């Protein structure tokens, strides 16, 4: 039996990536970073340090000014525009300011809408939506309207929405910023469960308590540079 090469386990690699939005500001500078399938990373750093830029490079919402990015064995910086939807199907995204829901459609229909947009077979949509909702503990809310949900439940729907395409990786930009302590912990334990299924998690957060208790890999940015990358790290050791 051939042994598995280490390369096969790499899901994401940044090779000397820099991003300048204009000629003065380096939003990311010479970033080298490798993430293996199944890892759980927290991305930390002050406002303006480049965290959101990093996430938006992974989905090719942005392209780097220089350097290369590989995702799931492909160089996404060289990918043709028409292939970008296939890349995005493999990545579940949870955005900083929450998702916009179709308020007149049920929770399940909202998920079906996302899948339709990424080209799934019509007859599988309802079943896939229900599966994703049950994964986040909202199986019974499938036929509710978004306005009938609490803040924590809406966040769970966002996570279900990120899960519907069976992504290899989930990236989340400050997913607990608007939630209280208990709900933040509920969401983090949900992320742990998802990670246990083998999904790679990359989560931007300012939540010191969560980072310090969970002790995951902590990647810290400062002024666009990689300041630290610590296994079982803590928040702010380096800030
Ligand atoms: N669209 C943009 N145009 C110009 N500058 C930007 C843009 N987006 C971000 N920046 C700048 O890039 C740097 C990093 O921003 P960002 O990645 O949003 O940081 P963070 O998410 O860590 O707060 C900041 O200096 C910010 O002002
Ligand atoms: Mg940000």
User: Does 141 contact ligand 1 (Cβ within 6 A)?
Assistant: no
Q: Compute the distance from residue 162 Cα to the ligand 2 centre, in Å.
A: 19
Give residue 116's pLDDT: 86
Q: Compute the distance from residue 62 Cα to the ligand 2 centre, in Å.
A: 14
- For residue 49, give the nearest of 225, 234, 174 by alpha carbon: 225
Nearest CA to ligand 1 atom 5: 21
Give residue 22's pLDDT: 85
Give residue 54's pLDDT: 98
Token pair listed for 129: 């939506």
Nearest CA to ligand 1 atom 26: 48
Q: How confident is the model at residue 23 (pLDDT cuts 50, 70, 90)?
A: confident
Residues 146-200: pLDDT tens digits? Answer: 999 998 899 999 999 999 989 999 999 999 988 899 999 999 999 999 999 999 9
Residues 204-235: pLDDT tens digits? Answer: 999 999 999 999 999 999 999 999 999 999 99
Give residue 4's pLDDT: 54
Q: How confident is the model at residue 239 (pLDDT cuts 50, 70, 90)?
A: low
Give residue 169's pLDDT: 97
Q: What is the DSSP letter of 101?
A: P
CA separation for the pair 8, 10 (Å, rounded) = 6
Per domain, the residue ranges of the chain are 100-166
| Angle, helix 107-117 to helix 125-135, in steps of 10 degrees | 120
């Amino acid at each position: 039996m051939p042994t598995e090469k280490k390369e096969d386990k790499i899901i994401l690699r940044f090779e000397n990536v820099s991003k300048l939005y204009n000629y003065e500001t380096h939003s990311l500078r010479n970033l080298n970073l490798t993430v293996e399938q199944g890892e759980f990373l927290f991305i930390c750093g002050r406002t303006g340090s480049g965290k959101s830029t990093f996430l938006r490079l992974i989905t090719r919402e942005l392209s780097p000014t220089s350097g290369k990015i590989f995702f799931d064995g492909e160089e996404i910086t060289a990918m043709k525009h028409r292939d970008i939807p296939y890349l995005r199907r493999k990545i579940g995204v949870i955005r900083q300011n929450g998702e916009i829901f179709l308020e007149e459609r049920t929770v399940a229909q909202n998920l079906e809408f996302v899948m339709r947009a990424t080209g799934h077979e019509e007859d599988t949509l309802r079943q896939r939506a229900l599966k994703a909702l049950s994964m986040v503990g909202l199986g019974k809310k499938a036929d509710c309207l978004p306005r009938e949900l609490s803040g924590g439940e809406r966040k769970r729907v966002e996570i279900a929405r990120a899960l519907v395409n069976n992504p290899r990786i989930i990236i989340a930009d400050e997913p607990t910023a608007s939630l209280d302590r208990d709900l933040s912990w509920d969401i983090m334990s949900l992320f742990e469960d998802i990670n246990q299924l083998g999904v790679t998690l990359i989560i931007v957060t300012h939540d010191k308590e969560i980072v310090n208790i969970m002790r995951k890999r902590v990647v810290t940015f400062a002024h666009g540079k990689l300041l630290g990358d610590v296994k079982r790290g803590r928040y702010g050791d380096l800030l």
